[in-house]
Amino acid sequence: MIHLNKKEYKFCIDTFKDNINHLSKLNGKDLLNYVNSVGQDSINNAVELITCSRKDINNNEELNEKCKQSVYWLNGMWVWVDSYMETAEEVSQYVGDEQYCSIFEKIIEDDKQFED
Residue 92 forms part of a structural domain: yes
Give domain status of residue 71, yes or no. Answer: yes
Is residue 58 within 8 Å of 64, Cβ to Cβ?
Answer: yes
Whether 74 is covered by a domain: the verdict is yes
pTM for this predicted structure: 0.89
Domain assignment present for residue 1? The answer is no
Domain count, the chain: 1
Residue 60 lies in a domain: yes
Distance CA 49, CA 105 (A): 21
Helical (H) or strand (E) element with 99: helix 98-115
Distance from C-alpha of 35 to C-alpha of 23, rounded to nearest angstrom: 8
- Asked, for residue 98, whether it belongs to a domain, the answer is yes
Task: Give domain status of residue 11, yes or no.
Answer: yes
d(CA 7, CA 69): 18
Per-residue pLDDT tens, the chain, 116 aa: give them: 999 999 999 999 999 999 999 999 999 999 999 999 898 999 999 999 999 999 999 999 999 999 999 999 999 999 998 888 889 999 999 998 999 999 999 999 998 887 65
Domain holding 69, by residue range, is 6-115
